[in-house]
Amino acid sequence: MIETGIPKLDEYLKGIPEGKSMLFYIEPGVEESNIGIHILHHNLERGLYGIYVSSESSPKNLKKAFNDFKWDIDKYDKLIIVDGYSSLIGAPSEGNYSIEEPHDIESYEDALLSIFEEIEGKGVIVFDSLSNIMDMCGERKALEGIERINKEIEKAGFVAIYNFIAWPYKESVMYKIKRIFNAIIEIGIVEEKTVRQYMHIKKNDWGGNEGKRLEFKIFKPDGIRIYIPKICVIGPVQSGKTTFIKNLAKEFTPVERLGTTVGVEYGIVDYKGYRAEIFGIPSHERFLPLIKKFAESSKGVILIVDSTKPNELQFAKKLLDIFGDIPYVVVANKQDLPNALKGDKIKDMMNLDKDAIVVEAVAKDKIGIYEVFEALVEKIIEGGNVS
Ligand SMILES: Nc1nc2c(ncn2[C@@H]2O[C@H](COP(=O)(O)OP(=O)(O)OP(=O)(O)O)[C@@H](O)[C@H]2O)c(=O)[nH]1
Ligand SMILES: [Mg+2]
């Protein structure tokens, strides 16, 4: 099984079985969306072969892209670069293999066949730009060749990944493209204040889950992350909001005076392929207007309560209600203290929905906090997939 290395996407796809081809169908104008190189790198790291067919730009750019993510390109002896670019501009080849006739799709086939003859093992082949190959070889000829190439790749037990910029091609060309790949993932831009991209599984003939959608961002040097622009952390005074955020986040900006938070604090959480920006909002009565403002643009909310203070639960519920219908998780914090109420009890007392998630936690010891994050992210993603 080949993995994309994006955990949630792998879960949806159920991995990529050997022999399959997958197309990233990229909306024109989406920058830096060469997801192929992330898949290439992930599988090289796993000790598999990674063949990179460069036709859009010089193989030097692959090195540069690796550098951007602090990956050492010279480290992988199973990386094979097929240079379909240099001969176009009359430059000496930089790859392990070169395409002599970039205007002839058979030249690509020949190169791949000779690679398959020489190596033994499994891996992934990434084409940096199918659209470019189509422009050079002619759309019809190119696609016929790609069908043959996919068959060879299938025989060799590799997985083929194509980046494709979806320029306005003729409908018959688009039709063919939709037919000849086993899976198609559309990449586009989310039109909101926080710029990010989405991937949308349009076709998957082995694992289903068509229609699933994930929002992501590419960070340098960290890589691809399923991305959630805004999660709020609220809760009565001294319930443990700051402690929770500080212990969960990889970066944190405190705004404290004498042990209490006096402004909006901010943290970045990076966990299991997810990244979220977290905003801790002080929750005294006088901050309610501020909470209302944040509530409008939040993707999810974490409500922290001190489990030893039942008399604060009504106020906590009131805070939560400001957020309306968005995904939330309640943290029953300070479970280490005597008399801490259990999660179920808190759920009852707050009169929460049956399917509400209440996680028992000890924020100061990092107990339960990742569970809270994962549960909320899961709700946000699945919620976004219903609409
Ligand atoms: N026993 C126990 N104490 C905790 C836990 N989490 C936080 N605390 C303590 O509770 C107090 C308040 O924690 P904070 O994280 O500052 O709470 P806060 O909600 O940010 O407080 P404000 O910003 O003033 O509203 C601190 O003394 C923490 O050390 C926990 O899980 N168990
Ligand atoms: Mg605080």
**For ligand 1, is residue 241 a contact (CB within 6 Å)?**
yes
- Spatial contact of 66 and 40, defined as CB atoms under 8 Å apart: no
Per-residue confidence (pLDDT) for residue 339, from 0 to 100: 93
Q: Which residue in 95, 157, 160 sits closest to 125, CA to CA?
A: 160
**For ligand 1, is residue 256 a contact (CB within 6 Å)?**
no
Residue 105 scores a pLDDT above 60: yes
Of 17 and 255, the one with more pLDDT = 17
**For ligand 1, is residue 26 a contact (CB within 6 Å)?**
no
- 213-220 contact pairs (CB < 8 A, 24+): 213/384, 213/385, 214/6, 214/8, 214/9, 214/12, 214/381, 215/190, 215/384, 216/6, 217/275, 218/32, 218/33, 218/38, 219/275, 220/68, 220/69
286-316: pLDDT as tens digits: 888 889 988 988 999 999 999 999 999 999 9
Q: How confident is the model at residue 128 (pLDDT cuts 50, 70, 90)?
A: very high
The answer, yes or no, to whether the previous bond of 221 is cis (omega within 30 of 0) is yes
- Spatial contact of 373 and 366, defined as CB atoms under 8 Å apart: no
User: 164 vs 65, 68, 134, 238, CA distance in Å?
Assistant: 18, 22, 10, 52
Q: How far is the CA of 268 from the centre of ligand 2 (A)?
A: 16
- Spatial contact of 346 and 331, defined as CB atoms under 8 Å apart: no
Per-residue confidence (pLDDT) for residue 194, from 0 to 100: 75
Residue 16 scores a pLDDT above 80: yes
Q: Which residue in 159, 152, 102, 164 sits closest to 125, CA to CA?
A: 159
21-45: pLDDT as tens digits: 999 999 988 866 689 999 999 999 9
331-368: pLDDT as tens digits: 999 999 999 999 999 999 999 999 999 999 999 999 99
CATH topology assigned to domain 228-386: Rossmann fold (3.40.50)
Per-residue confidence (pLDDT) for residue 32, from 0 to 100: 65
Query: Cα separation of 321 and 339, whole Å?
Result: 26
172 Cβ contact list (under 8 Å, min separation 6): none
Q: Which residue in 285, 276, 253 sits closest to 327, CA to CA?
A: 276
Residue 123 scores a pLDDT above 70: yes
Per-residue confidence (pLDDT) for residue 341, from 0 to 100: 97
Q: How far is the CA of 237 from the centre of ligand 2 (A)?
A: 7
Per-residue confidence (pLDDT) for residue 90, from 0 to 100: 85
Structure tokens at 36: 């192929």
- State the number of CA atoms in the 13 A half-sphere of 244 facing the CB: 33
Specify the domain boundaries for CATH 3.40.50.300 within the chain.
7-221, 228-386
Burial class (CB in 10 A: 0-12, 13-18, 19+), 289: exposed
**For ligand 1, is residue 204 a contact (CB within 6 Å)?**
no
Q: How far is the CA of 237 from the centre of ligand 1 (A)?
A: 9
Superfamily for 7-221?
P-loop containing nucleotide triphosphate hydrolases (3.40.50.300)
Average pLDDT, the chain: 93
Which ligand minimizes its atom distance to the CA of 237? Answer: 1
Residue 386 scores a pLDDT above 60: no
Per-residue confidence (pLDDT) for residue 387, from 0 to 100: 44
Q: In testing the pocket of ligand 1, which one of 234, 237, 238 has its CB within 8 Å of the most ligand atoms?
A: 238
Of 238 and 253, the one with more pLDDT = 238
Range 308-333 average pLDDT:
96
55-99: pLDDT as tens digits: 988 999 999 999 999 999 999 999 999 999 988 888 888 888 889
Query: Cα separation of 255 and 238, whole Å?
Result: 14
Per-residue confidence (pLDDT) for residue 257, from 0 to 100: 83
Of 192 and 373, the one with more pLDDT = 373
Structure tokens at 256: 């404290």
**For ligand 1, is residue 309 a contact (CB within 6 Å)?**
no
Q: Whose CA is nearest to atom 30 of ligand 1?
A: 334
Range 196-206 average pLDDT:
93
